[in-house]
Every structure is written in C-alpha cells, then in structure tokens.
Amino acid sequence: MPQLTEQAQTASQVSEDADFLPIEGVDHIEFYVGNAKQAAYFYRCAFGFRLTAYRGPETGTRETASYVLEQNRIRFVLTTALYPTGAIADHVLRHGDGVKSIALAVPDAEDAWRQTTARGAVSHENPSVRNDELGEARLSSIKIYGDTIHTFVERGNYRGPFLPGFMAVSEPDRISRPTGLLQIDHAVGNVGWGEMNRWVDFYSRVMGFRMFKHFDDSDISTEYSALMSKVMASGNEKIRFPINEPAEGKRKSQIEEYLDFYTGPGVQHIAMTTDNILETVRRLRAQGIEFLRVPTTYYDDLQTRVGRIDEPLQDLADLGILVDRDDEGYLLQIFTKPVEDRPTVFFEIIQRKGSRSFGKGNFKALFEAIEREQALRGNL
C-alpha cells in the first residue's frame, strides 16, 4: 500500500509543483471479466459500443483475451483469463466483473511513473515500451485503492487501433446500436471506513489533484443510511474522481453493500456524458438497460426547486431523469441498476448544461431509490 500521511490535505494545500503530472484525459477503462466475449456483446447491444480491436490467441497472446469497445471518446477494454489461475482469474473470483484500471493519457508515461512513485505511490508495472509494425507506446502503472490501478499511457508514436499487440476489427459492427454516449465525466471509488481522507491525501500529494467538492453525511443521508464523499480533480479539471466512504446510519449503506460484495474497495460507478439525455435514455431503455426510479412526487415541485429548464417535464418524469441546479447552470442525470449479478458496478448518464457539480439536490431521492433496491436484495 502507498505510504500516506495521516491527515488529508485541504483544497488549499496543493503543492507548488501541482503540474508535475499533466493528464490529457481518460485513455480507457479496463474491466477484468469472467467472459469477455459475452460481456462485449452486452456492452455493444445494450450501451451501443463498437468493437474496434482485439487481442487473444489469434494475435499471439496465449493466456488472455481482450476486446476494445468504443463510443465517441469513451473506450472500454474487457479482459478475461483463459486459464483458471493467475491475477485476472483471481481478480474475477474475488470481485466478480469489475474495473481493474483507470488508464490516463499522459505525454510521458515514464515521467508520470517517476513523479508519482517519488511521492509515495507503489508501482504496479514499471515503465515499459510496447511496439509492433505500427509504432510504439509506453506504459506504466501505480496502485490505488483496493486492487485498482492507474495506468499511464503514452501513445503519441503509435498509429494502431489501440495498443501494440491488438489487431483492428475492421468489419462493420452489426451488433452495435449507438446511444449517444460521448465521454467519461467521472469515475467513483468506494473505500472502507475511515479511508476517504487517506485517498484524498494520496490524490493531492501523489498526483497533484485538488479537492473539487466535499459532501458529508448531512448532504448524503436518508432515514436509514449515510455516506461521505470528496471529489478530487486534476489541475485542468479534465479528470474528476469522487471518493466515497460509509457513514454511521441505522442500517447498511450502499457503500457497505458494495464493499461486502466486491470484497473491498473499488470503482463503484462510471459517469458518461451525452448531449441529449432524453434520446440517450430512451435508446438505452429500449436496448434493455434498467434504471433506478424515484417516486413520481419528485417531479411535482421540480421547476420550483430548479427553475426554468429546456426539457419537457413530462418527458423527464416518464424516463425517471433527475435535475439539479447550481450557480453555473443545471444538470440532468440518471443511474442504472447494477450491471452485474453482484450489486457492485453501475453507470450514470449525465448531461451538463452549465453545472459542474454532481447533483447534490438529488442525493436524498437517489439514495432512497438505492435503498429500495437494497431492501429487495435483503441487504439494507
């Protein structure tokens, strides 16, 4: 585990060399899964991703298979083990299907590794060069919470479909039905009791992030459960990582349920943007994605709470889309139910119309909806 200070730094304590880790964006998110071929089929049919690249026995990789899926600026990699032993098989056995790596695009993967490990990060993979006939890419990685890692990807000298060793899938994807998803907005990590500030400090000191938002148990609570969350952002705000931990409540919180079934910390959900949430959600619902629903009374005084919005109120109510406003504008958001049999990973669909926040005004309604699902599973 990284050697971290005992107290989290505040937002004003970003070091003078906060730009030591320039990050260009999320390069990809890699999931370790039990059956990558079937998982790829699900994400293509339901979410509308295209299959663009592949690596496996046919390309000379004997122990794993990986499918690269893309939709606009979002890239997922689904990787499975071909044998019952090894790190990937162990990860799936312990966690079920889940996120292994949040990969970050950087101009220099070796320097990113050196800068972060010098500040206390534990190396997962030392800097390496991968190459094929289409050029070279440089990668390195560090450990973060649980079994999750950040991979630094430098691909400026690579012209291939994804990374060296992958072959392009050039035939038309007849399965994919695009839904208008554009890019990754944020990825949320769940950590254990008393661990949030430890990882806030990690992102501040080791990666040069600053605290962007802070929500305590008075912001995120219901009659039964509560949680706390702090949002860490890179200097250019291209990367935002909320970190959640449980808070004391009468019953088990959604974070505790996640930690029980994931058997430790990990990525809880991934938020993906759209510029037309009504159409995106309609397509996703038609393609089998199930969403959390709030009571219809949520919409009775919606316009009183958030002011004028462009979208028809009845359409929002029919689809179950939530709305919140801050000083800079408003946002629309909706959350899927877990996409695994374990109540772990889920997705958020978000459209921002000026707002840079995370829907604080929706927390109570959202978490009550999650608690209703927990109760059905017998886990509240």
CATH number of the structural domain spanning residue 359: 3.10.180.10
Domain-located, residue 1: no
Residues 201 and 350 in one domain: yes
* Residue type for position 17: D
**Which residues neighbour 176 within 8 Å (Cβ) at sequence distance 6 or greater?**
44, 45, 48, 49, 50, 51
Residues 208 and 307 in one domain: yes
Rounded CA-CA distance 355/325 in Å is 7
3-state secondary structure (DSSP) of residue 377: helix
pLDDT band at 8 (very low <50, low <70, confident <90, very high): very low
- As a 3-state breakdown, the chain gives helix, strand, coil percent values, each rounded to 5, of 25, 35, 40
pLDDT in tens, 30-48: 999 999 999 999 999 999 9
Rounded CA-CA distance 179/353 in Å is 19
Residues 142 and 219 in one domain: no
Q: Give me the pLDDT at residue 43, please.
A: 98
| Phi, psi angles (nearest 5°) of residue 214 | -140, 125
pLDDT in tens, 331-350: 999 999 999 999 999 999 99
Rounded CA-CA distance 163/288 in Å is 31
Rounded CA-CA distance 138/42 in Å is 30
pLDDT band at 361 (very low <50, low <70, confident <90, very high): low
Predicted TM-score (pTM) of the model is: 0.90
Rounded CA-CA distance 268/377 in Å is 18
Q: Which of 7-16, 141-150, 294-303 has the highest mean pLDDT?
A: 141-150
142-167 per-residue burial string, b: 16 or more CB within 10 A, e: under 16: bbbbbbbbbbbbbbeebebbbbbbbb
Q: What is the mean pLDDT of residues 93-120?
A: 98
Residues 239 and 369 in one domain: yes
Instruction: Name which residue leads in pLDDT, 90 or 248.
Output: 90
What ranges make up the beta strands (E) of 248-290? 266-273
Residues 90 and 236 in one domain: no
Rama region for 321: left / alpha / beta (φ>0; ψ in -120 to 50; rest): beta
Q: Give me the pLDDT at residue 303, please.
A: 87
Residues 128 and 215 in one domain: no
Give CA 321 to chain center in angstroms.
20
| Phi, psi angles (nearest 5°) of residue 286 | -65, -25
- Beta-carbon neighbour count of residue 25 at 10 Å? 14
Strand 123-132: give its sheet, edge to edge: 123-132, 135-143, 149-154, 98-105, 25-32, 74-81, 64-71, 50-55, 167-168
DSSP conformation class of 48: -
Q: Which of 251, 225, 257, 246 minimizes the C-alpha distance to 342?
A: 257
Owner of token pair 């794993």: 64
Tokens of 190: 């769940």
Q: Give me the pLDDT at residue 7, please.
A: 41
DSSP conformation class of 248: -
Domain-located, residue 150: yes
3-state secondary structure (DSSP) of residue 212: strand
Residues 17 and 73 in one domain: yes
| Phi, psi angles (nearest 5°) of residue 199 | -85, -25
Q: How does strand 98-105 pair with strand 149-154?
A: parallel
Residues 197 and 157 in one domain: no
Count the domains in the chain: 2
Residues 57 and 195 in one domain: no
Q: Give me the pLDDT at residue 218, please.
A: 55
Residues 197 and 308 in one domain: yes
Instruction: Name which residue leads in pLDDT, 57 or 9.
Output: 57
pLDDT in tens, 313-325: 999 999 999 999 8
Owner of token pair 């499918």: 67
Which structural domain range is residue 118 located in? Answer: 11-168
